[in-house]
Structure 1
Amino acid sequence: MTSSQSAPAIVVRALSQKVSTLDGTLSILDGVNLEILQGQSVAIIGSSGAGKSTLLSLLAGLDRASEGEIWLAGEPLHQLDEEQRAALRGRSVGFIFQSFMLVDSLTALENVMLPLELSGGDDPHKQASQLLERVGLSQRLDHFPNQLSGGEQQRVAIARAFASKPQILFADEPTGNLDHQNSETVEELLFSLNRELGTTLVLVTHDLELAKRCQRQVRMHAGQLEE
């Protein structure tokens, strides 16, 4: 599936994840293979408990697989220690979660400035302000998360995720906590920023309409992946 125009952003080979339970070993993922090209948008769909979020967590380097290889942004994630994986995430990866995951004690502006300050970006205040304006929140810069609606909080989360211009963006049920109107707003932002910045977008969703907006859909079923 590799093309001459686009190199793989993610390559997965024979990925398995097993966990020990009181009843023995539970296989969550079983020999998953996947290749995602730079700039592609891919939806991972499937029923609850199929292993979608587990796969996303492994791809992002938040957890370590039992077996197999993951190449993320050209680096062998499976060979890196925790410190190296955290550094790779900081350089190349952005996240959007269903529960927003904003820092309650920081304003919208400060939440978006945070990754820019950590990465030593130029003029974090200016960049964060521009991003919040881009997502329609220029009037909400000094508001704290508890002063914002769910849709506004997710837009802050999107601005924060794109702040460091990540090569790869992972989104776990990004519209799961939103009503229809806010879901549409968030989806529009996600895909327009994805196109503008050439970011690879990998999202887990139960929303088939959202999944259809991606260039590819892959289905998790009983720990296996089906295109």
Structure 2
Amino acid sequence: MNKLSQMNVIQVKDLGKTVATLDGDLTILSGISFNVKPGESIAIVGASGSGKSTLLALLAGLDSVTQGEIFLDGEPLHNLDEEQRAAVRAKSVGFIFQSFMLVQSLTALENVMLPAELAGESNAEEKAKELLDKVGLSHRLHHFPSQLSGGEQQRVAIARAYIGEPKVLFADEPSANLDSKNGRIIEELLFDLNKVAGTTLVLVTHDEHLAEKCQRTIHIDAGQLIDDRIGVQADVG
């Protein structure tokens, strides 16, 4: 672990991602460099196909880099295999997907408990109930995903992401599949929990309103970082 990675919860240096296709190698990302401080909220924006979701997956250790370096909570993801990256994710990462990704055969309570149970925590049920109460679902503990609205399912997903007390929460278009009312509820929850828990928030979004709520906006275009801007929500005090 180097000194810079100790000061930043995420450190990215000259990141690149290339994949093989029938027409030859396709470069999705190249020359990406930036750092993220603990507790920051960052929006990654860009047109469809710009590489922003690929960047999010790399930052979270869900995919491997082709070149460059990523340190996540001091761990060199670029040097780790999938099993080692999974261990880092379990320790440091929460992830919220656009499509919720709940286990359909488990209740809301069981979905939230699952990561804590896999980690061997003895108080998984107590923590899950507390988090579901925080997201306003204490009355839906024993409902299955099919019995919940889209907004409720995403709130369950948020509670599940936070049960491991992650250093970094990654969210891929967290409100894209929701109506405007539920989308705003989800956004408020994300930022409230970000502030209360001090969790670093990194999200991909097409929503300019949501991006403006973040302290920083990183703009990706054609696989390259073209802008890294401090937003109006940044705490300058």
Question: Scaled by the length of structure 2, what TM-score is found?
Answer: 0.92
Counterpart in 1 of 2:51? 51
Quick one: distance in 2 between partners of 1:61 and 1:12?
12
Matched pairs, number: 223
Cα displacement string for residues 34-75 of structure 1 (whole angstroms, at most 9, x for unaligned residues): 101111000000000000000001111111111111000011
Structure 2 counterpart SS, 1:103: coil
Displacement of 1:24 in angstroms is 1.9
Within 5 Å, give how 1:179-190 maps onto structure 2.
179-190=179-190
The answer to whether 1:73 aligns with 2:84 is: no
Partner Cα distance (2:47, 2:81) in 1 = 32
Residue 83 of structure 1, CA deviation: 1.3
The equivalent residue for 1:89 is: 89
Q: Distance in 2 between matches of 1:34 and 1:106?
A: 39
Distance in 1 separating the partners of 2:110 and 2:172: 23
Distance 1:121 1:195 in 2: 25
Task: List per-residue Cα deviations over 1:63-113 (Å, max 9, x = no partner).
Answer: 111111100001111111221111110000000000000000000000000
1:156 aligns with 2:156: yes
State the alpha-carbon separation in 1 of the partners of residues 152 and 77 from structure 2. 33
Q: Write out per-residue CA displacement over residues 119-164 of structure 1, whole angstroms, 9 at most, x where no aligned residue.
A: 1224111110111011000110000000000000000000000011
Q: 1:99 — aligned with what?
A: 99
Q: Which amino acid in 1 is paired with 2:147?
A: Q
Mapped to 1, the partners of 2:26 and 2:150 lie a distance apart of 35
Alignment partner, residue 196 of structure 2: 196
Aligned to 1:172: 172
How much has 1:7 moved relative to structure 2? 2.2
**1:152 and 1:37 mapped to 2: Cα distance?**
31
**In 1: Cα distance, 2:59 partner to 2:82 partner:** 14
> What TM-score does the superposition give when structure 1 sets the normalisation length?
0.96
> Which consecutive residues of structure 1, in runs of 5 or more, have no partner in the other structure?
none
User: What letter corresponds to residue 110 of structure 1 in structure 2?
Assistant: E
Q: Residue 209 of structure 1 corresponds to which residue in structure 2? A: 209
Cα distance in structure 1, aligned partners of 2:42 and 2:218: 7
| Aligned partner of residue 153 in structure 2, secondary structure | helix
Other-structure match for 2:233:
none
CA RMSD for the aligned pairs? 1.2
Structure 2 residues without counterparts, runs of 5 or longer:
229-237
